[in-house]
Structure 1
Amino acid sequence: MGVMRRKIFILLGEDDPQGQSTILVKAIGLLIVVSIALAVLATEPVIRSQHLSLLRTLDIIISVFFLIEYVARLWIAPLKPGNSRGISGVIKYALSPMAILDLIAIVPTFIGMISPELYVVRIIRLIRIVRLGRSNTFRKSIQLFHYAITSRKNELTISAIYTGAILFISSVLMYLAEGGIQKDQFGSILRCLWWSLITVTTIGYGDVYPVTPAGKLVGSITALFGIAVVAVPIGIISSAFSDAIRQEDSKSDS
């Protein structure tokens, strides 16, 4: 029994000092993606009406697999470094955030089996996307991204201040230019702030736009500054992320 528990412990990627994902862990990651795709497809009325039985069957099969995995992780929990032996180690794992999320993601499927009218509850399965955080590759990517953000926090702070200043100034100018003519759209600086945010981020829904020459001039200048608002932080983060990857590669080679 102890040998089998140890093998499962290794298969579930709990004992890999190099951070490499096992085949089983990769398969679990693939199933998570498939289950999320099924949950998304089930929200489309046409697909749901035509293939509800197939969607339910696949969902049940995947959920049973995840339930087995959940029980297996409970069983091997005492082997994890830092966990207590015996039942206390199992309880400690069961109360961990990741284990609770696992359970929350599994339960809706079985609720839908008991009460079909509650099938919509299964949308909670989308929480399974959080489980991708177990992947060593995903976890390492998050760590690199976090390093990239923190290592350039001063530059990003300056960029954020610059963005805030542009939003505020353009909102005030647009209020002065359009506030008296389009009171519903630009009747306050707060309303103008919505327009400024959409313009600066280059989204431009088109539901609110200036009609006066002064307003169009403010809009044009705001749009030009918006290019820098988007490009500057992206460039900072990209550069920092590349540096983080190079440092990680140099550590691996040494």
Structure 2
Amino acid sequence: MNLEIRPGGEGLRTRAFQIIFESDTPAAKGFDIALIAMILASVLVVMLDSVAAYAARWGELFFWLEWGFTIAFTIELAIRLYCLERPTQYLRSFYGVVDVIAVLPTWLALIVPGAQALLIVRVLRVLRIFRILRLMQFVGEGRLLVESLRRALHPIFLFLLTVLFLVTIFASLIYLIEPAEAGFTSIPQAIYWAIVTLTTVGYGDIVPVTPLGQGLSMMVMLTGYSIIVVPTGVFSAQVIRSIREERYSDEACPGCGHDRHERGARYCLKCGTWLDEESPDPHLSEEEQAAWHEARKESDADGQEGETPPG
């Protein structure tokens, strides 16, 4: 859903909107930086509070800090909604959901003990730093990776189906070979072993004890090493394809028809023809440029005559 963020009124609401949702003024930048610092501090408090030794020593401090952050974030969310024209639309957006989740667990903890652990999702709000710092280059790189992943979904999905097929075959074989005392009490348990072995993790909680089972394990591990490069290669190929599409234009040269030029190129790589058909070659003489403009005017006039409906 495309989120249209607009102020809900004049005066105080517009001023609050400029500070909270924009980042091109000193006040707005200061607010965003302070917000990021509070988010990071609140996430740090949640993580430290999960350590038993720290919780026993500074538990009361963590408790009051957490409530302070929650009240501050609740007020900030209320102001965000107050200054928007369509607050409900914002609440249904990604950042709106994250803002609600950032304050909801502490209030829920009054009813459901232990809900504070969900506060770790506040780290998602740090994504606002891309808007604050205007890191458009990194945003562009992120879009390139997302587009590459989207293109690679079908071959990767086919690869995963193949892996699941292999895992099921290996699991069935090891279930028939190994005794139940070794831990292979069912095919689903054997599938767990096959996945752990194929991915070369090797927890060691279930291991084959027969020579035939150990030989099968070696085959599974070697298979894992041999196929691990497949999804990496597919994704890398799509990344390279996306980079090429970002770098090169499909516009054909009017002179020779070559269509693989870098974006922003002014002359054809093959024949040296000027590529921009909307303007004359700056290296032409004044007479030649004047002739080019005359020819362009005649072409435009002919096109307009051709589009004129019959009387």
Q: What range is the shorter-chain TM-score in?
A: 0.7 to 0.9
**CA shift for structure 1 position 96:** 5.2
Between the two proteins, the alignment pairs up a number of residues equal to 234
Moved more, 146-155 or 126-135: 126-135
Amino acid corresponding to residue 93 of structure 1 in structure 2: Y
Deviation by residue 1:178-212 (Cα, 9 ceiling, x = unmatched): 1xx23562233222111001111222111100111
1:46-85 map, 5 Å: 46-78=53-85
List gaps (5 residues or longer) in structure 2: 1-8, 250-262, 265-311
Moved more, 238-247 or 98-107: 238-247
Retained in 1: the 8 A contact 2:182–2:209? no
1:56-205 map, 5 Å: 56-78=63-85, 89-94=86-91, 98-109=95-106, 120-134=114-128, 136=130, 143-178=143-178, 181-183=179-181, 185-205=183-203
SS for the counterpart of 1:38 is helix
Hey, what does 1:35 align to over in structure 2? 42
Amino acid corresponding to residue 69 of structure 2 in structure 1: I
SS for the counterpart of 2:13 is helix
Q: Which has the higher contact order (CA 8 A, sep 6+)?
A: 1
Amino acid corresponding to residue 169 of structure 1 in structure 2: I
Matched-pair identity in %: 24
Amino acid corresponding to residue 17 of structure 2 in structure 1: F
RMSD (Å), alpha carbons: 3.6
TM normalised by structure 1 equals 0.73
**CA shift for structure 1 position 140:** 6.3
Hey, what does 1:84 align to over in structure 2? none
Does residue 219 of structure 2 align to residue 221 of structure 1? yes
Q: Which has the higher helix share?
A: 1
TM normalised by structure 2 equals 0.61
Deviation by residue 1:23-79 (Cα, 9 ceiling, x = unmatched): 54354344333322321221222110101122123323322331232122112211x
**CA shift for structure 1 position 5:** 3.5
List gaps (5 residues or longer) in structure 1: 79-88
Moved more, 128-137 or 143-152: 128-137
Retained in 1: the 8 A contact 2:46–2:120? yes
Q: 1:97 to 1:152 in 2, by over 3 A?
A: closer
**CA shift for structure 1 position 3:** 5.0
Moved more, 201-210 or 182-191: 182-191
CA distance in 1, matches of 2:124, 2:248: 30
Retained in 1: the 8 A contact 2:175–2:184? yes
CA distance in 2, matches of 1:123, 1:174: 40
Amino acid corresponding to residue 159 of structure 1 in structure 2: F
